[in-house]
Chain A
Amino acid sequence: MATEASGEEKGSLVFHPMDQFIVEPLFGDGPVGMFTITNVTLWMFLAIVGIVALMVIGTSRRAIIPTRTQSIAELAYGFVYKMVEDVTGKDAVGYFPYIFTLFMFILFANFLGLIPGSFTTTSHFAVTVVLALAVFLTVTILGFVKNGASFLGLFWVSSAPLALRPILAIIELISYFVRPVSHSIRLAGNVMAGHAVIKVFAGFAAIAAISPLSVVAITAMYGLEVLVSFIQAYVFTILTCVYLKDALHPHH
């Protein structure tokens, strides 16, 4: 968190790697209230626009022989659909729209965040924690609704020796409640770290001797971030599928 303003006084290196994550009102300078239209609003709206462009406008022709955009939309559909079917099971396809929504939102937010000067909504814990908590609550409630008390069998590893089971139950219980934490911090942490590192490298570009190296490093990091953007969306989605599987089939 080296964002001291003292760097400006020296006039050489100015690092503000976290400034890109500041939430600010789009219009005026007022405080950020709950309903204020901020850069969060703008970039989330752009994610909606992107998703609509791809999934609705791109498929509007309903072509049997798909156009390029329609191909991508179908590819995304097939990718997530197969994931839900393979990981969670055939009876879980009813939750496919929800999982697909999560995947598309995270994917578009991540990729829109890669546009230089943009704001990355998924780099904020407030966003990812809400997403992860929604999954956690859905899974927990669904687990009890579908299985009743036998959902607790998830924590009682019946394949382990009897003496070990209470200990395992405690471990399982802790790991279950850590899920939303790791689920959300993994996504926001990865995205935030990548963006911050790029900013740090960009700061080094101010020194003429290092700047070529800095540009190379930024390029390399950008490539990595493109990868991370997709992989984190994928990981978040597949973990959602895994957790959902626990809710639908709690017995190991």
Chain B
Amino acid sequence: MATETTGSAPVSTCVDAGGSAIGMPQLCFDWFPNQIFWLVITILAIYFILSRIALPRIASVLAERQGTITNDLAAAEDLKHKAEEAEQAYDKALADARAKAQAIAQETRDEIKAELADATAKADAEIAAKAAESEKAIAEIRASAMENVEAVAKDTAEAIVAALGGKADAKAITAAVSSRIKG
């Protein structure tokens, strides 16, 4: 490996006079302490920087982001619920209004019906009264007509009897006319 080069003295056991490596520089034990020392320093430095500053920070950022996402999702869920509630309230209000309208319509209809019935009854009563009045008048007229007929018949009978030369007996004539009219 570390073959001695001829000519000028090597700078070290691992580098020849021309500045080239002798063998594998990886196996040059002269350099090991240096590399190991700086490696340990570097690793410790990185470890402390990462574990003290970078990793807690990233962990907190990730947790915070997770929290934000969860919160936002919850808020979205909440808003969705609210929207659904509002929709339900709207539907309910609509249904209520519809029912109310229907009730009002029904009420009005009933009122009108009642009024109508009232008016009809009144009219019926009036009609009935008028009819009764008329009937009465007709009956009166009929009765008076009957009387007139009786009187006329009596008179006519008396006149006929007189004309035939008989002496009219008023009582007999009345009885006869009455029985004829009734009969």
Binding site for B on A (CB under 8 A): 1, 3, 5, 8, 16, 18-19, 21-24, 29, 31-36, 38, 40-41, 44-45, 47-48, 51-52, 55-56, 59, 62-64, 66, 70, 73-74, 77-78, 96-98, 100-102, 104-105, 121, 123-127, 130-131, 134, 188, 192
Contact of B35 among A23, A97, A101 (CB under 8 A): A23
A48 touches B46 (CB 8 A): yes
SS class, residues of chain B in contact with chain A = helix
Q: What residues of B have a CB within 8 angstroms of the CB of A73 in the complex? A: 54, 58
For residue B36, which residues in chain A have a CB less than 8 angstroms away from its CB? 126-127, 130
Q: Is the interface of A mostly helix, strand, loop or mixed?
A: helix
Given A31-B12, A55-B54, A121-B39: A18 in contact with B46 (beta carbons within 8 A): no
- Residue of A3, A41, A62 near B57 (CB, 8 A) is A62
Docked-complex contact B42 and A45, CB < 8 angstroms: yes
Q: Smallest distance from the beta carbon of B84 to chain A beta carbons, Å?
A: 29
Q: Are A33 and B33 in contact (CB under 8 A)?
A: yes
Structural contact, B22 and A3, CB atoms closer than 8 A: yes
For the complex, give the distance between the alpha carbons of A23 and B21 in Å: 10
24 A-B pairs in the complex with CB atoms less than 8 angstroms apart: A8-B18, A19-B20, A19-B21, A21-B24, A22-B21, A23-B25, A23-B28, A23-B34, A29-B11, A32-B30, A41-B38, A47-B42, A48-B42, A56-B49, A56-B54, A74-B58, A74-B61, A97-B47, A100-B55, A102-B43, A104-B46, A126-B36, A130-B39, A130-B40
The answer to whether A22 and B14 touch across the interface, beta carbons within 8 angstroms, is yes
For A36, list chain B residues within 8 Å (CB).
Answer: 34
Contact A48 B47 (CB under 8 A): no
- Known A-B contacts: A22-B15, A31-B30, A59-B61. Give 17 more (CB < 8 A): A1-B23, A16-B20, A21-B21, A23-B28, A32-B31, A35-B37, A38-B34, A38-B38, A40-B34, A40-B35, A55-B55, A56-B54, A62-B60, A73-B54, A73-B58, A105-B46, A124-B25
CA distance A102 to B132 in the complex (A): 123
Confirm or deny: B104 has a beta carbon within 8 angstroms of a beta carbon on chain A. Answer: no
- Asked if residues A59 and B58 are in contact (CB atoms below 8 Å), the reply is yes
